[in-house]
Amino acid sequence: MAAEKNQTSGDQNSDVLPQEGTEDEQNKVVLTLEILQTIKDAQQTHGLRHGDYQRYRGYCARRLRRLRKGLHFTCGNRHKFQRKPITEELLSEQRFLLMPLMEAERAWSYAMQLKQEANTEHRKQFHMVSRMKKAAGHAATLARLCDSDKVDARTKLEAQAYSAWMQGSLEFEVQLWEAALNHFNEAKTIYEKLSSALPEDARMVYDLRVEDIKPSIRYCAYNIGDQSAMEDATDEGQVRSTGRLSFKFAEQKGMLGDKLDELVAQTREKQAATISEVTWQGRTVSVKQEQVRLFLLSYQESSTDLQAAPDTNSKLEVYEKLLMDCKDAMQVLRGELREDPSARAAQAEGKTSQLAHLLTYLTYIRNTITIQRNLLMADTVKASLSPVTVMYIRNTITIQRNLLMADTVKASLSPGAAVDGRRAAKPQDLVRLYDIILQNVEELRQLPGIQDDATMAQNLEAQRDACKAYRSFYIAKSYAVSQKWKEAVALYDQALVQGKTALGLYASLPDSADRIAELEGLVAEVHANKSSSHASCILDSPTSPDEQDLTLNDTGANMVTFPPNFQPIPCKPLFFDLALNHVEFPSLQDRLAEQKKGGGIANMVKGWFWGGGNK
């Protein structure tokens, strides 16, 4: 017991801390208690992982004592017990709901302990039934308290399901099969409805509880022997196509399908209001990180802030703040993604985990905000570019010919001249902005899952071609300013092709009338600037092409044909040794015969010792 006290001392602070705030603020608070998740966490931590019901019962008793002391809600003193009932007026915080829950869990765990011991001591079966009745009573008290307006819809549903499951467990032990079947079906239906209304990662605990209830339902139906009850126990007969309840318990308990659907709808509305989950690319993921939730809330409210912004600088500040918040939220997600083993396992299987999908969604938002900010900056630069550079391009030839006014006009239209106290804009500034926008669009196109959405992929492709058209257009303008007319005309042609490609893509996309009108204006302006550059190129040429050819011929210039014509050349000789097979070599048989006369090794040794040798 001492070890258990040390183990459970970590959660004492949450039970004994006083509730802050005034009484009016407390009355306005809507209480939330995740009943099933709370008891599952406690059971897995305090003994039930190994089937130790006695240890879990001790934990529930200590937790209940801490709750009562922390709330100053003790029942009498050490000499006399005086029960204090919990009423709806006392519901000022969540711990008042935890007390009947812990009482029900304490009685239930004691009943399960007695059930294990009843295998050898049959008298404990009666004590077990008594404790189950206690547990069902405390669960009914919890459901009655949660029926108040101070409790949210999810907690109401969980309390009703928990009470129905506890009552069904009691009736199961005393072999009231039909009543147990109705209560188990009630709990199963509520848990299934809750699972469908919650995000993906919060469904597991409810799905597991449903799987635990199914064997009890089948056993009750078997003992009843009613074929219709067995059909109701199957998944196909559980909920009709209209989404309404069809069981007998709906009439007995007065919980109609309309009421259940209404509570589930309220749960979904609360999930949407608090940004506890997001849906993107057809997949819903939960948002548990507070920093990510705050960023998504600020992102939703950014449209109102942008509309209320008085000038461009204020809008840019809104975008910058959003980008900083998004960066911080993504950093939090990356840290959790590195430490999450399930994410690595999903990546090894080729799947995308919930954290990875949420990080991809934030990356998409970041690139979208960056594109919107850069487009706003591009519009600002365009506004300062049009009164200076366009006039300069149109009057280039006039400025060159009119030497008297050249200095004055150049001083007012030079790239470094100031307009309204600011540096005059240049086409290069817009080229740089559109380069950044193109980079952002390409990052969006590389995100996982983007290519699966045909409409989004086509929209991004149209944005890419439109940005390329604007980029080519302003590069051509910069060449026109430098009087490089041929390069400008070539770039204008490229801008026309890219602009028409973007128009073709936008034509099949919904809600793109503004973009189509903008691109049509760009195409018309490109046509006009291309004609102007072409005319300027002709006017700046000193002579016509025919006169240029005559001048070259008169001066006796050495003209060569390029590339040169092919001429035949002799092949490199190849040498083959064909005479080797016809050569007769001299015979060496006489030399071989002399070597055989030597006598071998014996004669050679004899010659060494007795002076033998060639004579």
Please tell me which residue, 195 or 401, carries the higher pLDDT value: 195
Do 198 and 316 have their domain in common?
no
Asked if residue 281 lies in contact with residue 352, where contact means CB atoms within 8 angstroms, the answer is no
pLDDT, tens digit, 9 for 90 and up, residues 396-411 = 333 333 333 333 333 3
Q: What is the mean pLDDT of residues 400-427?
A: 45
**438 domain residue, yes or no:** yes
**372 domain residue, yes or no:** yes
**216 domain residue, yes or no:** yes
pLDDT at 392 (0 to 100): 38
Nearest residue to 445 via CA among 373, 495, 371: 371
Q: What is the mean pLDDT of residues 409-437?
A: 60
Q: How many domains does the chain have?
A: 4
Q: In this structure, what DSSP letter does residue 201 have?
A: G
pTM here is 0.51
Q: What is the mean pLDDT of residues 416-444?
A: 71
Asked if residue 496 lies in contact with residue 489, where contact means CB atoms within 8 angstroms, the answer is no
Please tell me which residue, 102 or 15, carries the higher pLDDT value: 102
> How many Cα atoms occupy the beta-carbon half-sphere of 213 within 13 Å?
30
- In 150-191, beta strands by DSSP E: none
Do 104 and 1 have their domain in common?
yes
CATH number of the domain within which 142 lies = 1.10.3450.40
pLDDT at 309 (0 to 100): 83
Cα separation, 325 vs 156, in Å, equals: 35
User: Looking at the predicted structure, is the pLDDT value of residue 34 above 70?
Assistant: yes
pLDDT at 204 (0 to 100): 84
Nearest residue to 184 via CA among 223, 210, 155: 210
Please tell me which residue, 440 or 115, carries the higher pLDDT value: 115
For residue 464, name the pLDDT band (cuts at 50, 70, 90): confident
pLDDT at 451 (0 to 100): 74
Q: Mean pLDDT of all residues in the chain?
A: 76
Asked if residue 38 lies in contact with residue 101, where contact means CB atoms within 8 angstroms, the answer is yes
| Token pair belonging to 570 | 């002799």
**598 domain residue, yes or no:** no
Do 144 and 203 have their domain in common?
no
**614 domain residue, yes or no:** no
pLDDT, tens digit, 9 for 90 and up, residues 128-165 = 999 999 999 999 999 999 888 888 888 888 999 999 99
CATH number of the domain within which 482 lies = 1.20.58
In this prediction, what percent of the chain has a pLDDT beyond 90? Answer: 16
Taking the CA atoms of 282, 288, 291 and 296 in sequence, report the sign of the dihedral they define: positive
Asked if residue 178 lies in contact with residue 143, where contact means CB atoms within 8 angstroms, the answer is no
Do 370 and 298 have their domain in common?
yes
Nearest residue to 250 via CA among 264, 240, 260: 260
- Token pair 């049959």 is found at 122
Residue 428 structural domain:
285-444
**376 domain residue, yes or no:** yes
Do 131 and 180 have their domain in common?
no
Which of 241, 274, 307 is the C-terminal boundary of a domain?
274
Do 433 and 413 have their domain in common?
yes
Which three-class secondary structure state does DSSP give residue 349? coil
pLDDT at 16 (0 to 100): 41
Q: What is the mean pLDDT of residues 315-320?
A: 87
Which of 512, 540, 568 is the C-terminal boundary of a domain?
540
Do 436 and 290 have their domain in common?
yes
Nearest residue to 536 via CA among 400, 403, 402: 400
pLDDT, tens digit, 9 for 90 and up, residues 201-256 = 778 888 899 999 999 998 898 888 865 555 554 544 443 333 333 334 444 444 44
Do 289 and 405 have their domain in common?
yes
Please tell me which residue, 16 or 33, carries the higher pLDDT value: 33
Cα separation, 168 vs 180, in Å, equals: 4
Do 529 and 472 have their domain in common?
yes
Do 313 and 437 have their domain in common?
yes
pLDDT at 543 (0 to 100): 53
Cβ-based neighbours of 174, under 8 Å, separated by 6 or more: 129
pLDDT at 251 (0 to 100): 43
Cα separation, 46 vs 39, in Å, equals: 10
Nearest residue to 193 via CA among 124, 264, 145, 249: 264
Dihedrals φ, ψ of 435, to 5°? -60, -45
Do 303 and 267 have their domain in common?
no
Task: Count CB-CB contacts under 10 A for residue 270.
Answer: 16
User: Looking at the predicted structure, is the pLDDT value of residue 105 above 90?
Assistant: yes
Q: What is the mean pLDDT of residues 7-18?
A: 44
| Token pair belonging to 47 | 């003994």
Q: Is the peptide bond before 563 cis (omega within 30 degrees of 0)?
A: yes
**520 domain residue, yes or no:** yes
Cα separation, 297 vs 283, in Å, equals: 19
Which of 127, 151, 175 is the C-terminal boundary of a domain?
151
Region at 562 (left for phi over 0; alpha for psi -120 to 50; beta for the rest): beta
**358 domain residue, yes or no:** yes
Please tell me which residue, 510 or 165, carries the higher pLDDT value: 165
Helices (H), 280-353: 290-308, 312-339, 341-348
Do 7 and 133 have their domain in common?
yes
For residue 611, name the pLDDT band (cuts at 50, 70, 90): low
The highest-confidence range among 18-27, 194-203, 434-443, 545-554, by mean pLDDT, is: 434-443
The string of DSSP codes covering 350-383 is T---HHHHHHHHHHHHHHHHHHHHHHHHHHHHHH
